[in-house]
């Protein structure tokens, strides 16, 4: 069922991207908003989230890319700490190709640095871009060792409330195709993250923000957390900035 859901979702998004190809609104997704207007290679460093959170939490999410508007290669870093424990430490290497004005197809590998178990590698393929209502969306499917699978869906919406102020709700869903008690993930929908942040644009390249972040383990993942005496849900403040160079 999980594989069927993943396949159906990917096909639907590909069809959606074709339907919105002719839209004239400017894209804002972090992977396409700084297009140079051609295939002349451009180097870009982007920090989407550099964030401190309550209860000794933190997040760093950013990437380095090199290429033109259609083809580029990149490295992405994704780090997350919750209640003093590192929950995520990932390094991505990927190739990105624009398939429409608003959507990119990505493929590559992801390496997870595990502190309490063996590190692991995943092959990845996904689609990232912007829907007709300016919702930024990342949908990435992963295949790991021994046929293990995962799906990550991330979305955020930039609601402009004043000339330099924006309210940005954000959601992330993580699905897994199997139980893995060693790292505390369960099959099906395993992890949910919700947040809302208020951004102030100091310049086009720098925006500090403040907000609230909520995370929760779901299903078997919540059962594994309870067995370890851990909380399954947590709400904290968030303070950070977004920048690109």
What SS3 state is found at 134? coil
pLDDT value of residue 178:
92
More confident residue, 116 or 124: 124
Q: Which helix (H) or strand (E) holds 95?
A: strand 85-98
Quick one: 147 exposed, middle or buried, by C-beta within 10 A (0-12, 13-18, 19+)?
A: exposed
Residue 117's pLDDT band (cuts 50, 70, 90): low
Residues across the chain: 245
The residue behind tokens 């689609």 is 127
Domain count, the chain: 1
pLDDT digits (tens, 9 = 90+) for 66-75: 999 999 999 9
From 192, 180, 182, 186, select the one nearest 220 (Cα to Cα). Answer: 186
Mean pLDDT of the chain: 86
pLDDT digits (tens, 9 = 90+) for 66-111: 999 999 999 999 999 998 989 899 999 999 999 999 999 999 999 9
For 218, the domain range is 2-244
Rounded Cα–Cα distance for residues 106 and 125 (Å): 6
pLDDT value of residue 180:
86
In CATH, what number is assigned to the domain containing residue 14?
2.40.160.40
pLDDT value of residue 225:
87
Query: CB neighbours (10 Å) of residue 24?
Result: 5
Q: What is the DSSP letter of 184?
A: T
Could you tell me if 232 and 214 are in contact, meaning their C-beta atoms sit under 8 angstroms apart? no
Could you tell me if 80 and 88 are in contact, meaning their C-beta atoms sit under 8 angstroms apart? yes
pLDDT value of residue 204:
92
What SS3 state is found at 96? strand
User: Structure tokens of 116?
Assistant: 């309490």
Contacts of 40-44 with CB under 8 Å at 24 or more apart are 40/68, 41/66, 41/67, 41/68, 42/66, 42/67, 42/68, 44/244, 44/245
Mean pLDDT of all residues in 175-186: 88
Q: Does residue 5 register a pLDDT over 50?
A: no
Residue 26's pLDDT band (cuts 50, 70, 90): very low
pLDDT value of residue 231:
87
pLDDT digits (tens, 9 = 90+) for 206-219: 999 999 999 999 99
Rounded Cα–Cα distance for residues 155 and 196 (Å): 12
Rounded Cα–Cα distance for residues 106 and 109 (Å): 10
């Amino acid at each position: 069922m999980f594989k069927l859901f993943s396949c159906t979702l990917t096909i639907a998004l590909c069809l959606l991207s074709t339907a919105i190809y002719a839209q004239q609104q400017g894209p804002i997704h972090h992977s396409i908003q700084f297009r140079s207007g051609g295939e002349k290679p451009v180097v870009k460093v982007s920090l989407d989230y550099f964030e401190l959170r309550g209860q000794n939490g933190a997040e760093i999410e950013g990437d380095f890319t090199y290429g033109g508007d259609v083809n580029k290669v990149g490295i992405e870093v994704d780090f997350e700490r919750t209640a003093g424990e590192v929950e995520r430490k990932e390094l991505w290497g990927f190739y990105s190709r624009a398939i429409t004005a608003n959507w990119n197809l990505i493929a590559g590998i992801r390496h997870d640095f595990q502190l309490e178990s063996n590190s692991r590698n995943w092959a990845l393929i996904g689609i990232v871009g912007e829907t007709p209502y300016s919702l930024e969306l990342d949908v990435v499917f992963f295949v790991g060792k021994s046929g293990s699978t995962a799906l990550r869906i991330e979305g955020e919406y930039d609601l402009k409330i004043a000339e330099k102020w924006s309210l940005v709700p954000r959601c992330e869903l993580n699905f897994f195709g199997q139980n893995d008690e060693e790292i505390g993930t369960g099959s099906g929908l395993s992890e949910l993250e919700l947040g809302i942040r208020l951004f102030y644009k100091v310049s086009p390249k720098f925006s500090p923000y403040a907000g609230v972040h909520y995370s929760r383990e779901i299903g078997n993942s919540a059962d594994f957390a309870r067995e370890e005496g851990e909380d399954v849900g947590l709400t904290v403040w968030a303070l950070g900035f977004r920048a690109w160079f």
